[in-house]
Structure 1
Amino acid sequence: MKYGLLLLLAVSLFVPAHAQLGNFGKKLKEKANEVLQERKEDIKDNSRDYAQEKLAEKQSSYDTTSFNYAIAFLDKAESFENQQEGERLVRTAGFLLKDDEKTELEEARDLYESGRLYYNLRSYSLSETYLLAAIVAYNLLGEQQNPVYLKAVGTLGLLYNNMGRYELAETTNANALDGWKMSEGTGSKGYAAEYNNKAVIAFNRGEYNEAEKLFGEAFALIEKAEGKNSVPFAIANNNLGILYQHMGRSEDALEKLNVCLEIAGAELREKSGTYIQLMTNKALILQENKQFEEAEKTYQEAIDLQTSRLKLNRKSDPDYAHLLNNMASLYLVTGKTEKVESLLKESHDIYVSKFGEDHPSTASAKADLGNFYRSQGKFTQAEPLLKKAFESRKSKLGTTHPVTIQSQEDLAVLQWLQGDVATAKTNYNEVMEYSMSFINEFFPPMSEVEKTKYWEKMKNRFFTFYNFALANSVSHPDLVEKMINYRLMTKGMLLSTTTKIKNTILNSGDKALIDLYNQWQDQKRILAIYYSFSKEEMSKQNVNIDSLENAANQSERQLSQKSSAFAAAFVPKDVDYKQVQSKLAAGEAVVEMIHY
């Protein structure tokens, strides 16, 4: 279970600000000026069609307007759309679709509202562009005391947090906090919201003890500014509950989730999809803690609530389908397999009806149903579903997209079970090479906490491959060689620590080297985000992945030239068991214990 997505939930209020936001980073200022001067008209023209399309596809997530609270959701607690709040999103984006003359201040606010909209739609490149443009526009107008200016800075901090660009997230959040402190004081609603976000950033970095301390301080601020019966106070309880679950304090986690739902229910239960997401948080925690009966009750309550809110529209609602998937997952874990198929089939049919046969969400539904059939030995039913999921993902997401690789692995396992070892081997070889490429690309700039989380996602793939290799070692001995090499490569990366080298660089006093290292780390994090996007999403956001890769590679080459320690610690190296073998003297041997 991982820290999932950050949703912007805004709590209704507008207040004046009386102070200027100081010390905004020089680089951000330069970038914002460049954005405003060179891209303002460009982004307005290029994004109009995109905005219209997205508004039709997903009218969601803006419950009310003003302060932006980060909410912690678990992996499966996602939402596709919130029909009840669609009108507000349409109004938010309406300025993109009309050409009325506006004042400069209205145009500056429009830039901010665009940034919020695109953040919510996961259009990070466009969101960053608009938010930076809004920030510099308010500066040029001398409107640093405007509360929207501070909200733009705070939202930019959430954007960087969502992208894993934590250093920028912390700096930007600190600037927003300073701004609210100077303008409205530490008792203001804006300051309380940003303090919650500060705690979430620490949580997302894996700094759990620090995050717990910050959440405690945020509780006091939110209670004073908003009250104990407010939605922001409910959000804070949810966030602390998710933190407790990550810390292994499950009883404390459930206590906080129950408080959250009790408070939020009065305002959100009947009108907001966010409430159902919060319920799903609770159900997932109950499931992880093996409190299966309570988890089933909570899932069913969420399904019933979603059904009552949707009235006659449930058959075409992807959020309802997602809840069915969660319930099916619970039934699979608890051995109630007779209840799984009907739920997955109903969910699949909803996705097909809503998005069509080739949409990535439909592909996920096909993969879920196909993998269920595979687990039940129904290979004939599983095969067309898994093949279609793979082909759809390859077409829409690209050959090297992580989800596409997952589909290729699903097929390889099925082919292995069907006895087609040769075809399974071909697919598995590609899967494992892509997986090693991912690790080599993303491991180096990660913190130790991030590496642990990433490996938790990847390790089962390696363990399954080890089983495949050993099961077919007689007829395909080369698989055993690959297994040993993968083991050596991953073991070396897991045992090595880059923290010491990173600290050496950051404490070197060499500003050029430090700036180059920070630039390289940021470039790698940006790439990690965009590798998870579809080809269509990257095209619409004008993301040139080749250009980003070239820039990151250039930074890496420059770092290697400037720092031999960096080259030794961060640049991936090929590892082969034969290299180890060549170092052994006569009579020596190496024994490696491989868990699988």
Structure 2
Amino acid sequence: MNKLFVLFFLLAPVTAFSQLPKIPGSIGGVSTSAILTKTKNALVTQLDKSKAEYDTTSFNYAISLSDNAGLYENEEKWLRNQKMFSDVLRQSDGSSLTPLQKAEENNEVGEMMYASNKFNAAENTFLSSKLIYESNGLTAEAGYSKVLANIGLLYHTMGRYSKAEEFDKLAIDIRKTQSGESSVAYGSSVNNLGVLYKDLGKYTEAEKLLEKAIQLNAINPGKQSPAYAITLNNQAMLFEEMGRFQQADQLLAEAIRIASAEMTEKSTNYQRLLINQALLYEEMGSYSKADEIYKKAIAIKEKRLGSSHPDYAHLLNLQAELYMQMNKTSEVESLLKKSADIYLKKFGANHPSYAGVLQNLGNYYRTQDQQPAAYTNLTKALSIRIAALGENHPDVLQTKECIALLDWQAKKYSVASSGFQTVLDQNMLLINEYFAALSDAEKARFWDKMHPHFDHYAAFVADTYKELPALTGQLYTYQLATKALLLNAANKTRQQILSSGDASLIKEYQEWLDAKESLSRLYSMSKSELAEQRINLDSIERSANSKEKNLSAHSAVFKSGYTNAPVTWKNIQLALGTDDAAVEIIHITKFDKIKTDTIYYGALVLTKEMSLPAFVLLKNGNQLEKKYLAYYRNSIKNKLADVYSYTQYWEEIDKKTSGKKSIFVSMDGVYSQLNISTLRFSDGTYLLDKKNIQLISNSKDIIKLKTAAASTAAASAVLIGNPVFGTAGSIAPLPGTKVEIESVKTQLTAKGYKVTTYVQNEASEQNIRKVSNPKILHIATHGFFIAETQGEDKTMGIGSEHSALNPMLRSGLLLANAEATIDANAEYGVLTAYEVMNLNLDKTEIVVMSACETGLGDVKNGEGVYGLQRAFLVAGADALIMSLWKVNDEATQKLMTSFYKNYLVLADKQKAFKAAQAELKTLYKEPYYWGAFVLIQ
């Protein structure tokens, strides 16, 4: 899916040489003042001539382009003007200029370099300006805060988010003091930080800052100004990312209305706003509206620049991509050919833009079963991209995957397999290189681009594993590396380092983050771009690796969170015992030339004696997710004999684990919503009776379980329950949990445990946040899970627009004062899964959530359940017990009592839990009672 443009507000430059030094005397009969005036006029003329080449708003707005939205006008202007820029810099180094004039001049030239996407040159020029200001005591000048703001914008565009935030905040502080909150300068910096936070995924903070920028710009410079239009656009882009499409549409329409009066239709920036709107409509599925905008933008480009300009070709390419989504294939070929011809004539046969259109043309032919034409275009695109970009550039990998898809389609399975694995292996290198260092939002964007490669490979294996059995092992290894990738302990590690108080460690860590952020952008640059900007990629990689080694040596926290050895299916097999089997469930979307709506489920089954993992393919995934899931839930709720679920979900898998007693199961998709142990055989027995099912997040957790040493944690426990939710009575009290807490405390105390209890008003969010590494954490309260919501209303005290975007905000625990939090937006009372991730539970052996629906959450295919279960594991807990449906209070108390009785004797969580289930089953035969809770490790 195309990402939208984001426009950044940049103050108009201060005119250089507003005052000249008054120096008496003469040189060669010519007065000094006359020489300085002549120098000044020459430089101003040079700059003004250069500026005239750009869109009139290019110096008010720095523009960050999406991957698929590059325009070439500024690039061409740079080529025409780079000698002028060099002359300006050379002359401004002379002694005829004051330090202030030199600083201002460097800043202006840096702005033009930045507008021309010459980021490395812009950085050097901006930093030179900054140094002049600082070394000459000129930091009180308005231009100083301006260059700081420009550096922040530049680093944002370069993907160096940590450095960008540093400079954005510094510019805001200085401008607030020097110019005041009503100034245009202050408003622009507030806007820029808001856009940065949007790209970092800090949506709540971003929305507040952008709203503030809109309010400031409405007053100064006013509601009809380009600045106001840009802030409206940026708020629209935030709302688009949050799924608030209607609001985004309204804001963007108003921004375009204002821009059309101020910028005129020939303005490049106005056209970019139009394309933003088209991409928004594409995402909304309003294809006809998007098409209308593309037609308008194409007509403007043609009228202004002619039908041979690369920007015109770019818009034709975008329109062709839209028509592919619309299945309007009759026009795609002609649009792409026309676009390709323009790029070929303008840039030649070795340019990446030409290769990009050839790839689109090859994919079009592939979907139309014109395989010879598809091979011709894709192989040509690959050759160009390798020469221009290097063997491992992301665009090269994309083309290689297109060829692998074509080979698959042509039934060249072995060739396709090799092609896919080349792409995935390089993706794994990128993941291992810098993925862990990214923020949540950056990880999500990175994975959004990468996971389709892995999805396509899973679909390929599902189609060809009988012809190429060895593929099952390769698929298993990729699953081990990528399953549950987005939510891992690295985020907690980041928080621990930044809050450590160790200034040296924090500085070293931030330098490492900046190096990794820089590399993430540089990997996507072409060879010519790297050479032109004199960037030595190898040197930067060595520097980042050196920093990483130092951090690993100096910080055990860093080493544990960021350095993990790769795991293969053979490592899992070595860890298995002779009575064990591992089952890795995979959600697969069928691929038939294009992605389809047909769902498969695959199960990779591994035992000690297998030469390769076995593969079980269930092709009725759509029914498993709807018809049979509804049947399973209805059978549980109404205590009916379930005669279908075992056959549909497990029978074929069970055949591959025949003779094995312990089955380690890593869930995915709909399987995360089942308790496998409750599946019923035709004779009335259950899987619980015949197998020891152990649930894990990822099969590589088996290694940890098999090699873990006996716990040395102190015998301590924290018990939380029976909160006072409030006085309104809107949340039902849980007096039964008081009995439960007292019973558990009695059992633990008798075995020598040091027990801390928090009940009534003390069962609070504040107290649970203070919990530090108890061996046992037991929580008895209401849990909640909220399905994805729309609109502006709050859910559990959290704006639904934010909870809709982040599923970790839609599940959690209700604690003391929850009514006030929900009804009156009090600060404490609801602990979300998002907050749970940062609890200190690294030495906690087990978390018991004795509450309803604590195992629920958003099921993310390939990622598991986004909710409390993942949150507690990320927080460090070894295992947790949770519920999948609303539970009977009496049955829950009996289960918990039995679990602790067995646990304190057996010292084995899994054995104790299964024994407790079996005991409860003798009292209540239906799974509704004994099957509500599951244990996951």
TM-score by length of structure 1 reads 0.87
Q: 1:83 to 1:496 in 2, by over 3 A?
A: closer
Superposed, 1:501-516 pairs within 5 Å as 501-516=493-508
Q: Larger deviation: 92-101 or 385-394? A: 92-101
Match of 1:363 in 2: 355
Instruction: Give the whole-Å Cα distance in 1 for the aligned partners of 2:76 and 2:391.
Output: 37
Instruction: Give the whole-Å Cα distance in 1 for the aligned partners of 2:574 and 2:315.
Output: 55
Native 8 Å contact 2:365 2:373 kept in 1: yes
Selected match of 1:482 from 474, 479, 504: 474
Instruction: State the superposition RMSD in angstroms.
Output: 2.7
Deviation track 1:19-44 (CA, whole Å, cap 9, x = no partner) reads xxxxxxxxxxxxxxxxxxxxxxxxxx
What is the deviation of 1:170? 1.6
Instruction: Give the whole-Å Cα distance in 2 for the aligned partners of 1:375 and 1:413.
Output: 10
Superposed, 1:211-222 pairs within 5 Å as 211-222=206-217
Q: Larger deviation: 502-511 or 488-497? A: 488-497
Instruction: Give the whole-Å Cα distance in 2 for the aligned partners of 1:238 and 1:91.
Output: 35
Q: Larger deviation: 480-489 or 418-427? A: 418-427
Superposed, 1:459-470 pairs within 5 Å as 459-470=451-462
What is the deviation of 1:361? 0.9
Native 8 Å contact 2:281 2:287 kept in 1: yes
State the one-letter code of the partner of 1:103. L
What is the deviation of 1:330? 1.5
Whether 1:103 and 2:97 are equivalent positions in the alignment is: yes
Match of 2:196 in 1: 201
Match of 1:20 in 2: none
SS in 2 for 1:594: strand
Whether 1:63 and 2:80 are equivalent positions in the alignment is: no
Selected match of 2:400 from 398, 408, 421: 408
Deviation track 1:544-581 (CA, whole Å, cap 9, x = no partner) reads 11111111111111111122232222114211122222
What is the deviation of 1:332? 1.0
Q: 1:545 to 1:4 in 2, by over 3 A?
A: farther
The answer to which structure, 1 or 2, has the higher relative contact order (CA under 8 A, 6+ apart) is 1
Q: 1:87 to 1:447 in 2, by over 3 A?
A: closer
Native 8 Å contact 2:310 2:342 kept in 1: yes
State the one-letter code of the partner of 2:555. S
Q: Larger deviation: 501-510 or 219-228? A: 501-510
What is the deviation of 1:238? 0.7
What is the deviation of 1:110? 2.9
SS in 1 for 2:485: helix
Match of 1:22 in 2: none
Whether 1:436 and 2:431 are equivalent positions in the alignment is: no
Native 8 Å contact 2:317 2:339 kept in 1: yes
Deviation track 1:183-202 (CA, whole Å, cap 9, x = no partner) reads 32221111111111111111
SS in 1 for 2:581: coil
Instruction: Give the whole-Å Cα distance in 1 for the aligned partners of 2:123 and 2:429.
Output: 28
What is the deviation of 1:122? 2.8
Match of 1:237 in 2: 232
Instruction: Give the whole-Å Cα distance in 2 for the aligned partners of 1:76 and 1:507.
Output: 38
Q: 1:388 to 1:346 in 2, by over 3 A?
A: same
Whether 1:425 and 2:381 are equivalent positions in the alignment is: no
Whether 1:320 and 2:307 are equivalent positions in the alignment is: no
State the one-letter code of the partner of 1:182. T
Instruction: Give the whole-Å Cα distance in 2 for the aligned partners of 1:579 and 1:83.
Output: 51
State the one-letter code of the partner of 2:191. N
Match of 1:391 in 2: 383
Instruction: Give the whole-Å Cα distance in 2 for the aligned partners of 1:450 and 1:544.
Output: 24
Question: Structure 2: any 5+ residue segments left out of the alignment?
Answer: 17-45, 589-937
SS in 1 for 2:138: coil
Q: 1:8 to 1:498 in 2, by over 3 A?
A: closer
Native 8 Å contact 2:3 2:68 kept in 1: no
What is the deviation of 1:165? 2.2
Whether 1:142 and 2:137 are equivalent positions in the alignment is: yes
State the one-letter code of the partner of 1:520. W
SS in 1 for 2:577: coil
What is the deviation of 1:592? 1.5
Native 8 Å contact 2:401 2:423 kept in 1: yes
Deviation track 1:62-118 (CA, whole Å, cap 9, x = no partner) reads 53475x445565553432215998899679726348758541443323321332233
| Greater strand share, structure number | 2
Match of 1:28 in 2: none
Whether 1:372 and 2:364 are equivalent positions in the alignment is: yes
Match of 1:250 in 2: 245
Whether 1:115 and 2:110 are equivalent positions in the alignment is: yes
Superposed, 1:164-179 pairs within 5 Å as 164-179=159-174
Native 8 Å contact 1:62 1:88 kept in 2: no
Instruction: Give the whole-Å Cα distance in 1 for the aligned partners of 2:272 and 2:434.
Output: 30
Q: Larger deviation: 393-402 or 532-541? A: 532-541
Give the structure with higher Rg (CA): 2
Instruction: Give the whole-Å Cα distance in 2 for the aligned partners of 1:501 and 1:89.
Output: 47
Native 8 Å contact 2:7 2:63 kept in 1: yes
Q: Larger deviation: 497-506 or 254-263? A: 497-506
Superposed, 1:444-593 pairs within 5 Å as 444-593=436-585
| Greater helix share, structure number | 1
Selected match of 1:159 from 132, 147, 154: 154
What is the deviation of 1:416? 2.1
Q: 1:4 to 1:87 in 2, by over 3 A?
A: same
Deviation track 1:131-168 (CA, whole Å, cap 9, x = no partner) reads 11111112233332433322211110011112222222
Whether 1:291 and 2:286 are equivalent positions in the alignment is: yes
Instruction: Give the whole-Å Cα distance in 1 for the aligned partners of 2:525 and 2:290.
Output: 32
Instruction: Give the whole-Å Cα distance in 2 for the aligned partners of 1:15 and 1:114.
Output: 12
Native 8 Å contact 1:238 1:257 kept in 2: yes
Whether 1:349 and 2:341 are equivalent positions in the alignment is: yes
Instruction: Give the whole-Å Cα distance in 2 for the aligned partners of 1:361 and 1:333.
Output: 21
State the one-letter code of the partner of 2:527. K
What is the deviation of 1:325? 1.3
Native 8 Å contact 1:523 1:552 kept in 2: yes
Q: 1:165 to 1:5 in 2, by over 3 A?
A: farther
Q: Larger deviation: 392-401 or 180-189? A: 180-189
What is the deviation of 1:9? 6.2
What is the deviation of 1:7? 5.4
Instruction: Give the whole-Å Cα distance in 2 for the aligned partners of 1:593 and 1:333.
Output: 31
Q: 1:244 to 1:454 in 2, by over 3 A?
A: same
Instruction: Give the whole-Å Cα distance in 2 for the aligned partners of 1:458 and 1:401.
Output: 13
Instruction: Give the whole-Å Cα distance in 2 for the aligned partners of 1:271 and 1:345.
Output: 26
Q: 1:363 to 1:181 in 2, by over 3 A?
A: same
Instruction: Give the whole-Å Cα distance in 1 for the aligned partners of 2:4 and 2:547.
Output: 30
What is the deviation of 1:375? 1.2
Q: Larger deviation: 436-445 or 492-501? A: 492-501
Work out the number of aligned pairs and report it: 554
Whether 1:381 and 2:376 are equivalent positions in the alignment is: no
Q: 1:545 to 1:65 in 2, by over 3 A?
A: closer
Instruction: Give the whole-Å Cα distance in 2 for the aligned partners of 1:109 and 1:197.
Output: 21
Q: 1:528 to 1:118 in 2, by over 3 A?
A: same
Match of 1:182 in 2: 177
Question: Structure 1: any 5+ residue segments left out of the alignment?
Answer: 17-50
What is the deviation of 1:377? 0.9
Native 8 Å contact 2:10 2:188 kept in 1: no
Match of 1:80 in 2: 72
What is the deviation of 1:427? 2.2
What is the deviation of 1:327? 1.3
Native 8 Å contact 2:58 2:115 kept in 1: no
Native 8 Å contact 1:488 1:576 kept in 2: yes
State the one-letter code of the partner of 1:222. N
Instruction: Give the whole-Å Cα distance in 1 for the aligned partners of 2:563 and 2:4.
Output: 29
